[in-house]
Structure 1
């Protein structure tokens, strides 16, 4: 059995690493995880993960903004809540956005490569200490944050190991890159220089792999995110025709209105019985969602339940009649979100909105036969009526996912893909 040293802050690298890494022994590798302390209920962290992956503690004293957080807490700010939001609430009227701007500028000017840079040295020291007792054959780092990659580069050089850089999130090519142009130019230079020294670079979708390959001028491999195959029986479907969405909805980035318009139209035509229908959102409550609900007269069937624990979110997904998947705007067409794979694991029909994109989420849904795509409100109306009639006929909307197609996105298969990549590095 070969040993893989993984540098991953599991406060940020979950559920990808806790999902894939415990299955590596099937491919002849065992992952040893260098990480700071993380919550026991972190997404993907299971008893199976803990049994299969030895954990190497790398102390974490807080990020580069910790001094300012402590100072603000002495002035009455609450821990556990966003300091930026609390600061914005105390700004003069009309100046609330200045709080976010100040924090962003501070990070751009004084944190490098990111606010987690304080963890680089503890991670390297913990990795080198572990190497005194275990012979490692490769090192892997995963982002967020880029600091983990710099720690891995140090380990690669000191232990003479092949290094795999896993980009769960992109760095400067990220659509949410936060800083101004001069900082982006500096980051771009450093990113190219950093990953030129990696023996392999991996990211999570074919579209991102092409983007990153063109930017770095080197091959980049795609190994997607995924999900753990369900080990327990499927729970009974909700008694109502429930349309369930879990997670936050981002205004201007995702559009639930076509589905709401379709429901309103079907109610007005008396093709759906409102008493048998529910539209449920589990996540941060949004004022713009409430306005859309009011505009389409859906108050009696729609509920924003607020955030729920991850375990409850998964249960709601598995018992839903229909899962609502709101694709992102065109600039994120190649992004495979964690939600997509949670929905695949739920084994319930998916109603996706937005335009079809090859190698996008809708392509996976179509290829696995896990649901249907509504590009327009008319599409949503047709699909919802088909689902509803099936629900009336049997009490549950039938699920038609193709197991042989879905297997490619299950953690055991992704681990074998990763093991093959590691074998190709040639070892020390």
Structure 2
């Protein structure tokens, strides 16, 4: 049996989407001849907690932990104020807030977890001298985790897989950071070093694969996915015309076109205004709240801050329609929101506002799972919502999705295990 050391910042009881990818791989690795060892943070301060995920950690898994010092712990009141703990950048920071953003962007490269790199390398070098490990796997963001893998590769010549849940310099908020030219150059240098030195690079979408293949010939797309809890959960459909969005809504993921169209339809159609309910599950930015209020949609919106993963699945499966919003940013074509895979298994129609020629649109099309409307296509968005509402009124709002079993977490783990075997022969 091959032994894999997974180095990850996010691990239960962390909540949110970042933890699930490698929790699920670890859950199924033993089925495919891989024994996982997990290295993670000791006494972390995760912004979102979901203790229910701890139940999915396989019995007897070795879990190593190393303390971390994070600058955010020194100024928690500042972090809370600008919502950085939930993935938002403050669009209107104070003078002191601008100063802190500048310091963080240019002196904590690649991110504020950089101080975990040196002690982790020291700890893991000692561990690797005493224990046989066939491959190490780093997953980011935070991309500081990849620097741990890079150091171990350079000093011990271990086999190394770098997994990118999100891109590095092409991540959606990179263009918003107050970076100097020197800082951008350093980011790009470190990213290139990681890509050049890894034995294999895993990415979640084909746009990322094309971009990273310039630096490494062994780049493989391993998407995110869904697991058995989605399949097994049984619920009754909502009686109202519910539209559910799961996940963060920041300033870049604020669909002004949607709020405008929903307001128009509600004003023109009294039945729609009575039947319609939008459920937003997850943190939302102040800009989103303001846009909702400005369009007088408050009575139709149900905002739910955070619920455990198992409850999220219930919301998805009983909703009449599932909403996906891609960030309207330069790299939008390559963004695949992780929730799409659970949406697929919920087998409810998906309405996505995203590039119609992007990676997410390709998945929706190939699985026959819903509809994709571009960021500025107000006419098509209104027509699509009205058509779906009409089908709801006729009790005929269904979807015949296909080709979705390829996204089961167990099947994806099988693919990762084959990659591990290919580089550890």
TM over 0.5: yes
List per-residue Cα deviations over 1:398-419 (Å, max 9, x = no partner).
23221xx112222111111111
In the alignment, the residues of structure 2 paired with residue 333 and residue 176 of structure 1 have an alpha-carbon distance, to the nearest angstrom, of 14
Q: Which residue of 2 aligns with 1:412?
A: 410
Q: State whether residues 14 and 42 of structure 1, in contact with CA within 8 Å, keep that contact through their aligned partners in structure 2.
A: no
Instruction: Choose from 55, 69, 78 the match for 1:47.
Output: 55
CA RMSD of aligned residues (A): 3.2
Residue aligned with 2:4, SS: strand
Does 35-44 or 193-202 show the bigger shift?
35-44
Q: Which residue of 2 aligns with 1:123?
A: 120
The answer to whether structure 1 residue 201 and structure 2 residue 201 are counterparts is yes
Aligned length: 404
What's the CA shift for 1:262?
5.0
List per-residue Cα deviations over 1:209-256 (Å, max 9, x = no partner).
111223x26442221222214242321111111111223323354425
TM-score calculated relative to the size of structure 1: 0.82
Cα gap change, 1:51/1:300 in structure 2, threshold over 3 Å: closer, same or farther? same
Q: Which residue of 2 aligns with 1:173?
A: 170
List per-residue Cα deviations over 1:330-352 (Å, max 9, x = no partner).
62111112232332243321111
List per-residue Cα deviations over 1:22-63 (Å, max 9, x = no partner).
2222332122111124579549934333337x2432222322
Q: Which residue of 1 aligns with 2:9?
A: 9
Q: Which residue of 2 aligns with 1:251?
A: 251
Q: Which residue of 2 aligns with 1:91?
A: none
Cα gap change, 1:287/1:122 in structure 2, threshold over 3 Å: closer, same or farther? closer
Q: Which residue of 1 aligns with 2:101?
A: 104
Q: Report 1:26-425 matches (<5 A).
A: 26-37=31-42, 41-42=49-50, 45-51=53-59, 54-63=61-70, 65=71, 69-70=73-74, 72=75, 77=77, 82=80, 84=82, 96-131=93-128, 134-157=131-154, 159-177=156-174, 178=177, 179-214=179-214, 216=215, 218-229=217-228, 230-258=230-258, 260-262=260-262, 264-265=264-265, 268-269=268-269, 272-293=271-292, 296-329=295-328, 331=330, 332-358=332-358, 360-375=359-374, 376-394=377-395, 397-402=397-402, 405-425=403-423
In the alignment, the residues of structure 1 paired with residue 286 and residue 114 of structure 2 have an alpha-carbon distance, to the nearest angstrom, of 36
Name stretches of at least 5 consecutive residues in structure 2 with no aligned partner: 85-91
In the alignment, the residues of structure 2 paired with residue 131 and residue 420 of structure 1 have an alpha-carbon distance, to the nearest angstrom, of 23
Residue aligned with 2:163, SS: strand
Q: State whether residues 15 and 43 of structure 1, in contact with CA within 8 Å, keep that contact through their aligned partners in structure 2.
A: no
